């Protein structure tokens, strides 16, 4: 997953996954009939990185072969599989960077 949104088309419509707030959140959105985007669910890799950094250091780079975040609604389940998750702190600013793959499961 890069810095730009990843868009996927499915029978259920168009979806995109984007990173917000310096990598603190991942947002899954679905395209509405008017062309706008509606949030379907939100995951928080920043909270996970903050929690893990408490046991390591404020600027933690975590190799994450088995680190997975999962979010679900009645219509969709999103699994995010992290290869790396980094928390960085510069003065009063905290940011997050990660490499991950995602799997979106849709139900009818």
Query: What is the layout of strands, in order, in the sheet containing 25-31?
Result: 6-10, 13-20, 25-31, 37-43
Residue 11 has pLDDT above 90, yes or no: no
Structurally, how many domains does the chain consist of?
A: 1
The helix (run of H) or strand (run of E) holding residue 8 is strand 6-10
Q: Is residue 1 part of a domain?
A: no
**The dihedral of CA 87, 64, 106, 74: what is its sign?**
negative
The pTM of this model reads 0.77
Residue 3 has pLDDT above 70, yes or no: no
Q: Is residue 71 part of a domain?
A: yes
Domain holding 69, by residue range, is: 6-106
Name which of 11, 9, 40, 8 is nearest 26 in CA terms: 40
pLDDT at 103: 92
pLDDT of 54-65, one tens digit each? Answer: 666 656 566 656
């Amino acid at each position: 997953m890069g810095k730009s949104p990843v868009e996927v088309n499915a029978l259920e419509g168009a979806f995109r996954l984007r990173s917000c707030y310096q990598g603190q959140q991942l947002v899954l959105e679905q395209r509405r009939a008017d062309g706008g985007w509606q949030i379907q669910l939100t995951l928080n890799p920043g909270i996970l990185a903050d929690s893990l950094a408490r046991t390591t250091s404020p600027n933690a780079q975590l190799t994450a072969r088995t680190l997975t975040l999962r979010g679900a609604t009645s219509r969709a389940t999103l699994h995010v599989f992290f290869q790396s998750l980094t928390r960085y702190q510069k003065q009063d600013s905290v940011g997050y960077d990660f490499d991950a793959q995602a799997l979106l499961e849709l139900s009818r």
